Amino acid sequence: MPNSEHRKKASEVLKERGIDGDVIAVKIDGKMYDLDALVEEDATIEPVRVDSPEGIEILRHSASHIMAQAVYRLYPGTKYGVGPAIENGFYYDMDVPVAITEEDLPKIEDEMKRIASEAIPFERLVMSKEEAMRLFQERGDVYKLEILKDIEDDTVSLYRVGEFIDLCRGPHVPNTSYVKHFKLLSLAGAYWRGDERNPMLTRIYGTAFPSEEDLLAYLTKIEEAKRRDHRRIGKELDLFSLQNEAPGFPFFHPKGVVILNTLVDFWRKVHIQRGYQEIKTPLILDQDLWIRSGHWDHYRENMYFTEIDEKPFAIKPMNCPGGILVYKTQLRSYRDLPLKLAELGVVHRHERSGVLHGLMRVRCFTQDDAHIFTSEEHIKEEITDIMEMVQYIYGVFGFPYHIELSTRPENAMGDKVLWDKAEQALQEALEDRGVEYKLNPGDGAFYGPKIDFHLEDCIGRTWQCGTIQLDFQMPEKFDITYIGPDGEPHRPVMIHRTILGSLERFLGILIEQYAGAFPYWLAPVQVKILPVSDEHLPYAKKVASALQKKDVRIEVDLKEGTLGKKIRDAQMQKIPYMLIIGNREVEKGVVSVRDRSKGDLGSMSLEALVELLGNEYHPLKDDF
């Protein structure tokens, strides 16, 4: 801020205006500052309250500094990487001289509480870059020195809290006593700057909230998320596995494949109803194709390569160039449009080992992709149709969602005029439908702006799955055309879209949404028959055969054990229905039925059971 003799601390100005209480920072002329920043008389000043989104971010960033200070006290010689606030919490990457484990977190947390009780001020320091480098050189903090070398400004800001000094822009809470409600959650290894060639640092995760109630609610949510963890449930239900021999490439077991195939059957029926045609394109394509599409310049570091006949090829990270090649196999007319080409395309994308996470972040997955080639005048109509599909499909699984519109990024490909046209078309389509959306400037794909659909699961977490990307660029790059009513060639518009996104990731989301207790139509085993003893097996197999003919997914428990154990096992496997068969059932030609959630339903004939199962909801049966 410029020098002036007529300045006061922001905290004094707020006090004069009767603003106090839960204010932890200020906005001065729209920029964030600490409360002790000096304010010009004519400046616009706004309070930043602790329970606002900006205030919570400041609180968490301050908590990360307090955690780093606690580690500084407990483990002398620690060197520090970065410690940002993140969604729902914070972390700090540190090079600790001794190995620390989860068992050490309570000790660090106790030290943080001591620091908070000391009400140590967060003191902002401004010095030249050279002074800062000397300071961190004296402290032996090689990571801060590396960050400083990349800074082009002549001056930098630092924050001192007690004996700990950190390179930081701020702002921060006035003192450590403002950070009362926090919890350290976990630790992990993290390569410095995300590069496997760099040292592995210790990353400690934590969270902080303005109130004890908010903190406890979040910790309860975390415990519920752990209970629903798809990696644990997937193993318990024998759905999939992750093997050291193929990191990032999941193995799907028979029951997992049943769910995936059921999803695909549903997906395929919806698309047939909407006029899509399904295609299948190669896994490996010539490198020149990826150069032409723009992926080589914008996505090369995430691609895998191979060589065939001494020519370079790439394993596809996306399906769109293959869809364009299919389009180009024929001369297209305006009467062919819109041409809707859907593909369950397997793609490979390189992810760093540190970010791999079960089915949620993998290196190989199946996209429920589609590419729609249409004329400019029909853009809104096609986007509306996709949005209706999204609404229906997410509704089947019980997912509410919100929409975000992302516009031209810095690394955008192509003519800005075409980008402006594409952004306007998406915005108008959203506004014509009267839907609310969040604007994300600069977050579009490199070839076009996009609409993203973020679904919300039963514990409030959001997942970005569906997307609509409007592309004027690739039709230009590949020179694709259609013959219009005037007999002249015209350039089509290309709409890229997914709804489920990655089938693998969507399965992971479903596992956590249902905590493994899939609805009847998705359950890999819908009915399990529990014979009381081996003498009841012939009748059990007869019942199984009759139900299989009705397309019921059935399993007979052939293991030894008591009936009670068999029921418990079926409950643990979260199977919708259990059929108990003993002497009485064999004699009367009936089955005793247990519902997964309702318990004992009593005895019924096979015909009554088939009717009961036939009344279970199934989108392929009930919605078409």
**Residues 231, 228: Cα–Cα separation, whole Å:** 9
**Residues 257, 522: Cα–Cα separation, whole Å:** 11
**Residues 95, 201: Cα–Cα separation, whole Å:** 5
Tokens of 246: 């193929």
DSSP collapsed to 3 states, 563-584: HHHHHHHHHHCCCCEEEEECHH
Nearest of 388, 498, 496, 374 to residue 432 by alpha carbon = 388
Q: Do residues 164 and 65 make contact, with C-beta atoms less than 8 angstroms apart?
A: yes
**Residues 235, 461: Cα–Cα separation, whole Å:** 22
Nearest of 21, 6, 22, 28 to residue 55 by alpha carbon = 22
Amino acid at 174: P
Phi/psi of residue 128, nearest 5 degrees: -70, 160
**Residues 44, 470: Cα–Cα separation, whole Å:** 40
Phi/psi of residue 87, nearest 5 degrees: -60, 125
| Active site residues per annotation | 320, 349, 367, 369, 371, 450, 496
DSSP states of 425-486 as a string?
HHHHHHHHHT---EEETT-SBTTB-EEEEEEE-TTS-EEEEEEEEEESHHHHHTT--EE-TT
Tokens of 347: 């793609």
Tokens of 2: 């410029």
Amino acid at 22: D
**Residues 24, 11: Cα–Cα separation, whole Å:** 9
**Residues 503, 262: Cα–Cα separation, whole Å:** 11
Give the SS3 label for residue 315.
Answer: strand
